[in-house]
């Protein structure tokens, strides 16, 4: 037998190599080197027995692109690899990834604890839409890790946080929160969208599940909406009776017990085989392709994102129209030390600044800049600007807005990859308009 | 039982060694193979059959019946032919005496490999088997390792850890 089918090498390929290669070998049939877009809904079965094996999850293979698709699989393996996780399942968006995660974990009446410093859409999803499914989220101030412990109830099945919070520039001290989750026998879920695995790998700090909106830095070019759920493979679902979803026969899958059958990739297998199958928020192969291509330059882009963000943050901090800048890369940030611990390569490129001119100045600035794009995404090659109180966070109460770091005077920036001086000039011009009224 | 080692320090196996085992072995005696199709052992056996392995069931509770088209035997000793690998789908404690039985039968049956399933680990038994010249793998599933090493596991989004710019070659 030839031994050319993946030579065994010790673990230890660098991040950059894995960002380009993980999950993607040349196509076995054609030799195509880049991952093809498998634009197909379905896959032929060898025979009836093969079909039965596939439907029963007895063998690995493709049935229907709602569940698995070869292009999407490459992206899943790549993200799992970069996070140093065991397995991943992709979804149509970051919100869909969160839904798959919680649908797999929770039943009606179950609860979880989440940081209150989250993307505004997540606060709405957890606090309002999940309530309709019988799931209760207790939000806590994440700046004191003990707040998570205090909010736990016997019905809580998970703790959720964004390690680098959107939009407030807050870095959560994730290590003690992981210890609290471990003591409670529940998984810690970390949204790593803002940091990406290049800047932070939450599994190294005790997280059990990582979720992503791949729409942001992973895809990186503002082209493709997507999401991912990654499991570390280290959570023991059988340590208590909180997770019948993993340890009891699953009626939606002819009595299969997922943890026993799939072991350390049982969670993502269940999320795929039940939640993704039955609700269908699937990532398209084309979007997976764009995201794979984006990830191949993740390391280069994140370096420059962080470098430009630092330059812009320092500029704004010294600007007379600005009341404060919440970038953890600034020594003035209360999260500077946590950022150095958890994000030593830099705390991302999304942050906020408060304007002395309040709500009106925020509106004026976003409407005055020329180079910054006024829109509601982050993690693009382009620099983006937003006034959360009038857009992403407008569904929240004023108290929730302030708590989420999105008060009326706050402007959110996502710093792109343009020439840094051009960004400074554009902001300077926009800020002048907030004071002159022109 | 004191023979079983709690699964504590992770075991590390070289990919080339595991690939070598899966390429050389053709017949596997699976101890603890369940007749119920929804059990993990049945999944693994059916998958391995599909990859061309012969899987001989050992399960005293259903000896004389058939599982996946193969006659079930009560013990390794009662299997008439030769088999290169013993795959143990039993508890870590039970893996001890099963390993000893395999050591005693290694010449007669041609046994070369003792493979203990995911979650099954018995360091003392492994040491005895290795001293007798057998290769031992513990706390792994041959189905999962086959899928991982020969490019199928990634189809389910699992991190295979394999990086290569070579076109995947023929499978064993």
Nearest to B45 by CA among B115, B94, B99: B115
pLDDT tens digits, residue range A198-225? 999 999 999 999 999 999 999 999 999 9
CB–CB contact B165 A62 (8 Å): no
pLDDT tens digits, residue range B105-132? 999 999 999 999 988 999 999 999 999 9
What CATH number does the domain containing B70 carry?
3.40.50.720
Residues of B with CB under 8 A from a CB of A: 14-17, 19, 23, 37-38, 40, 43, 46-47, 50, 118-119, 141, 144, 147, 149-172
Q: With 70 as the cut, is the pLDDT of residue A10 above it? A: no
The question of ipTM being above 0.95 is answered as: no
CB–CB contact B157 A272 (8 Å): yes
The answer as to whether A372 is a domain residue is yes
Give contacts of A209 with chain B, Cβ < 8 Å.
none
Average pLDDT across chain A, whole number:
94
> Same domain, yes or no, for A57 and A145?
yes
Give contacts of A89 with chain B, Cβ < 8 Å.
157
> Same domain, yes or no, for A332 and A273?
no
Q: Which two tokens stand for residue B1?
A: 């039982």
The answer as to whether B172 is a domain residue is no
This prediction has a pTM of: 0.93
The answer as to whether B34 is a domain residue is yes
**What is the C-alpha separation between B156 and A67, in angstroms, rounded?**
9
Give contacts of A229 with chain B, Cβ < 8 Å.
none
pLDDT at B151: 87
- Only one residue has tokens 């902001």, namely A427
- Only one residue has tokens 């471990």, namely A182
Instruction: Find the helix or strand (DSSP H, E) in which A189 lies.
Output: strand A188-191
pLDDT at A391: 85
pLDDT tens digits, residue range A162-176? 999 987 789 999 999
Domains contained in chain A, number: 2
| Chain B, nearest residue to A265 by Cα | B158
- The closest CB to that of B163, out of A13, A28, A257, belongs to A13
pLDDT tens digits, residue range B31-53? 999 999 999 999 999 999 999 99
∠ Cα B122 B127 B131 (to 5°):
150
More confident residue, A141 or B8: A141
- The closest CB to that of A80, out of B46, B157, B171, belongs to B157
The percent of residues in chain B predicted with pLDDT above 90, rounded, is 86
For CA atoms A369, A373, A374, A378, the dihedral sign is negative
Q: With 70 as the cut, is the pLDDT of residue B137 above it? A: yes
Say if residue B109 is exposed, middle or buried (CB neighbours under 10 Å; 0-12, 13-18, 19+): buried
Instruction: Find the helix or strand (DSSP H, E) in which A94 lies.
Output: helix A94-105
The answer as to whether A2 is a domain residue is no
Whether A166 contacts A330, CB under 8 Å: no
Q: With 50 as the cut, is the pLDDT of residue B5 above it? A: no
State the pLDDT confidence band at A11, using cuts at 50, 70 and 90: low
pLDDT at A5: 42
> Same domain, yes or no, for A229 and A283?
yes
The answer as to whether A220 is a domain residue is yes
> Same domain, yes or no, for A349 and A335?
yes
∠ Cα A57 A30 A23 (to 5°):
50
Give contacts of A65 with chain B, Cβ < 8 Å.
none
State the pLDDT confidence band at A123, using cuts at 50, 70 and 90: very high
The answer as to whether B10 is a domain residue is no
In Å, what is the CA distance from B47 to each residue of A57, A149, A195, A328? 10, 44, 39, 51
The answer as to whether A31 is a domain residue is no
What CATH number does the domain containing A274 carry?
3.40.640.10
> Same domain, yes or no, for A228 and A125?
yes
Query: What are the helix and strand counts (H, E) for chain A?
Result: 18, 12
Q: Which two tokens stand for residue B57?
A: 């069931």
| Chain B, nearest residue to A22 by Cα | B163
CB–CB contact A265 B158 (8 Å): yes
As a whole number, mean pLDDT of residues B128-153 equals 94
| Chain B, nearest residue to A234 by Cα | B10
Angle between helices A358-368 and A420-436 (to 10 degrees): 130
The answer as to whether B158 is a domain residue is no
pLDDT tens digits, residue range A177-186? 999 999 999 9
Give contacts of A249 with chain B, Cβ < 8 Å.
38
**What is the C-alpha separation between A273 and A267, in angstroms, rounded?**
10
> Same domain, yes or no, for A175 and A249?
yes
> Same domain, yes or no, for A71 and A178?
yes
Q: For residue A167, say if its preceding peptide bond is cis, omega within 30 degrees of 0.
A: yes
The answer as to whether A34 is a domain residue is no
Please tell me the distance in Å from A387's CA to the nearest CA on chain B: 37
Q: Which two tokens stand for residue A34?
A: 């880049």
Please tell me the distance in Å from B54's CA to the nearest CA on chain A: 16
pLDDT tens digits, residue range A274-291? 999 999 999 999 999 999
Domains contained in chain B, number: 1
Residue A50: give the domain boundaries. 15-22+39-294
Question: Quick one: DSSP state of residue A30?
Answer: T
The answer as to whether B51 is a domain residue is yes
> Same domain, yes or no, for A135 and A50?
yes
∠ Cα A10 A11 A17 (to 5°):
115
Would you tell me how many other CB atoms lie within 10 Å of the CB of residue B11?
14
The answer as to whether A5 is a domain residue is no
Would you tell me how many other CB atoms lie within 10 Å of the CB of residue A239?
12
> Same domain, yes or no, for A277 and A401?
no
> Same domain, yes or no, for A250 and A342?
no
The answer as to whether B96 is a domain residue is yes
> Same domain, yes or no, for A331 and A216?
no
State the pLDDT confidence band at B171, using cuts at 50, 70 and 90: low
pLDDT at A406: 82
In the sheet that holds A156-162, the strands lie side by side as: A87-91, A227-231, A209-213, A188-191, A156-162, A111-115, A136-140
- The closest CB to that of A269, out of B50, B141, B156, belongs to B156
As a whole number, mean pLDDT of residues B96-108 equals 97
CB–CB contact B37 A56 (8 Å): yes
The answer as to whether B3 is a domain residue is no
Nearest to A389 by CA among A373, A403, A378, A371: A403
Give contacts of A272 with chain B, Cβ < 8 Å.
156-157
Least confident residue range of A74-83, A396-405, B19-28: A396-405
Give contacts of B164 with chain A, Cβ < 8 Å.
5-7, 21, 25
> Same domain, yes or no, for A95 and A237?
yes
Give contacts of B153 with chain A, Cβ < 8 Å.
60
3-state helix, strand and coil shares in percent for chain A, rounded to the nearest 5: 40, 15, 45
What CATH number does the domain containing A311 carry?
3.90.1150.10
CB–CB contact B157 A62 (8 Å): no
The answer as to whether A270 is a domain residue is yes
As a whole number, mean pLDDT of residues B64-71 equals 97
Q: With 70 as the cut, is the pLDDT of residue A301 above it? A: yes
Residue B100: give the domain boundaries. 15-149
Please tell me the distance in Å from A345's CA to the nearest CA on chain B: 24
Whether A194 contacts A161, CB under 8 Å: no
A416 half-sphere exposure, CB direction, 13 A CA radius: 18
CB–CB contact B156 A81 (8 Å): no
CB–CB contact A6 B149 (8 Å): yes
**What is the C-alpha separation between A285 and A269, in angstroms, rounded?**
19
């Amino acid at each position: 037998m030839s031994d050319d089918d993946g030579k065994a090498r010790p673990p230890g390929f660098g991040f950059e190599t894995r960002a380009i290669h993980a999950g993607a070998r040349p196509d076995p049939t054609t030799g195509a080197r880049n991952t093809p877009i498998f634009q197909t809904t379905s896959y032929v079965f060898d025979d009836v027995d093969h079909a039965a094996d596939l439907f029963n999850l007895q063998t690995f293979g493709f049935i229907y692109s709602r569940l698995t698709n070869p292009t999407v699989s490459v992206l899943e393996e790549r993200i799992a690899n970069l996070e140093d996780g065991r397995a991943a399942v992709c979804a149509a968006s970051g919100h869909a990834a969160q839904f798959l995660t919680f649908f797999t974990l929770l039943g009606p009446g179950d609860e979880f604890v989440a940081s209150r410093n989250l993307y505004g859409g997540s606060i709405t999803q957890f606090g309002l839409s999940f309530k309709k499914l019988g799931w209760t989220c207790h939000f806590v101030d994440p700046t004191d890790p003990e707040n998570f412990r205090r909010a736990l109830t016997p019905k809580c099945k998970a703790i959720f946080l964004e390690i680098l919070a959107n939009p407030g520039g807050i870095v959560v001290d994730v290590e003690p929160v992981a210890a609290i989750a471990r003591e409670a026998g529940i998984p810690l879920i970390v949204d790593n969208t803002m940091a990406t695995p290049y800047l932070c790998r939450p599994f190294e700090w005790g997280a059990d599940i990582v979720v992503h909106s791949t729409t942001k830095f992973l895809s990186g070019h503002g082209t493709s909406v997507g999401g991912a759920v990654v499991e570390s493979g280290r959570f023991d679902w059988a340590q208590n009776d909180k997770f019948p979803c993993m340890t009891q026969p699953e009626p939606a899958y002819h009595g299969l017990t997922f943890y026993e059958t799939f072991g350390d990739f049982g969670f993502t297998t269940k999320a795929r085989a039940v939640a993704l199958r039955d609700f269908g928020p699937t990532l398209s192969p084309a979007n997976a392709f764009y995201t794979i291509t984006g990830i191949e330059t993740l390391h280069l882009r994140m370096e420059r994102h962080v470098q430009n963000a630092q330059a812009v943050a320092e500029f704004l901090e010294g600007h007379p129209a600005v009341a404060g800048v919440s970038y953890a890369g600034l020594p003035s940030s209360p999260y500077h030390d946590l950022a150095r611990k958890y994000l030593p390569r830099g705390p991302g490129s999304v942050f906020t600044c408060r304007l002395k001119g309040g709500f009106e100045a925020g509106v004026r600035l976003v409407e005055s800049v020329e180079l910054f794009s006024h829109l509601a995404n982050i993690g693009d090659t382009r620099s983006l600007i937003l006034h959360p109180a009038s857009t992403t966070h407008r569904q929240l109460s004023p108290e929730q807005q302030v708590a989420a770091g999105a008060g009326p005077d706050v402007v959110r920036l996502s710093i792109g990859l343009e020439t840094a001086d051009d960004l400074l000039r554009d902001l300077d011009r926009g800020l002048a308009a907030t004071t002159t009224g022109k | 039982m004191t023979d079983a080692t709690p699964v504590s320090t992770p075991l590390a196996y070289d990919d080339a060694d595991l690939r070598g085992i899966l390429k050389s072995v053709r017949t596997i005696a699976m101890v603890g193979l369940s007749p119920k199709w929804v059990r993990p052992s049945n999944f693994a056996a059916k998958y391995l059959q599909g990859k061309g392995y012969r899987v001989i069931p050992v399960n005293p509770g259903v000896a004389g019946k058939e599982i996946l088209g193969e006659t079930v035997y009560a013990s390794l000793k009662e299997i008439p032919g030769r088999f290169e690998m013993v795959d143990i789908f039993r508890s870590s404690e039970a893996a001890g005496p099963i390993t000893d039985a395999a050591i005693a039968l290694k010449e007669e049956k041609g046994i070369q490999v003792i493979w203990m399933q995911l979650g099954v680990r018995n360091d003392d038994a492994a040491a005895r088997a290795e001293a007798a010249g057998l290769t031992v793998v513990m706390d792994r599933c041959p189905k999962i390792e086959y899928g991982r090493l020969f490019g199928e596991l990634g189809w389910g989004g699992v991190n295979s850890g394999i990086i290569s710019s070579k076109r995947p070659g023929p499978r064993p």
